[in-house]
């Protein structure tokens, strides 16, 4: 069993959570999302599986902006999937970028403009979780109406093999 758990994404996460699974060639990846996170897209089949969610943020109501999270799994055996995983995460026109390592994860932080809105984008990538490569992307619009109690979302990723 492989489990990837994303936690601490936003202060406003619902009290209830939903565990979801994506089947891999040798098992599955499990992840947890808030029960009030709308599904933006779901493509559960390898060689590139992906799940994307909108994270509720009162500041983006009535705007074209949204806080969102995407989880992508790449089949290690697929040359196409490996190339997509290995591609740089820097967005064109990035205003700033930083890279750090947290345990076995490479974490990339960048600020980009989407229209007139500044977004902070966090990408975490990790190879070597059983038979898949994993990438998690969090995009957060830096809106003037963000509450002081809704700080920059933080995310952590935990994996377990067994």
Domain ranges within the chain, ordered by starting residue = 2-155
Of 35-39, 144-148, 156-160, minimum mean pLDDT range? 156-160
Q: What is the 3-state secondary structure (H, E, C) of 100-155?
A: EEECCEEEEEEEEEECCEEEEEEEEEEEEECCEEEEEEEEEECCCCCCCCCCCCCC
pLDDT digits (tens, 9 = 90+) for 18-47: 888 888 888 888 888 888 889 999 999 999
Give 73-124 pLDDT, tens digit per residue: 999 999 999 999 999 888 777 788 888 888 888 989 999 998 899 998 999 9
- Asked whether the beta carbons of 131 and 76 are under 8 A apart, the reply is yes
State the greatest distance between any 2 C-alpha atoms of the chain, in Å, as a whole number. 46
* CATH, domain 2-155, list 3.90.1530, 3.40.50, 2.40.128, 3.40.1000: 3.40.1000
Tokens representing residue 36 in the block? 């009030």
């Amino acid at each position: 069993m492989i489990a990837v758990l994303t936690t601490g994404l936003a202060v406003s996460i619902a009290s209830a959570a939903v565990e979801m699974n994506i089947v891999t060639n040798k098992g599955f990846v499990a992840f947890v999302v808030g029960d009030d996170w709308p599904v933006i897209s779901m493509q559960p089949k390898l060689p590139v599986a992906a799940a994307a969610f909108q994270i509720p943020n009162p500041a983006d109501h009535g705007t074209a902006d949204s806080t969102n999270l995407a989880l992508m799994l790449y089949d290690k055996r697929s040359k196409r999937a490996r190339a997509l995983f290995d591609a740089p995460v820097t967005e064109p026109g990035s205003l700033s970028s930083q890279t750090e390592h947290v345990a076995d994860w490479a974490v990339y932080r960048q600020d980009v403009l989407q229209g007139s809105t500044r977004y902070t984008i966090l990408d975490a990538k990790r190879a070597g979780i059983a038979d898949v490569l994993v990438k998690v992307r969090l995009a957060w619009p830096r809106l003037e109406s963000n509450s002081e109690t809704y700080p920059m979302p933080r995310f952590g990723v935990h994996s377990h093999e067994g």
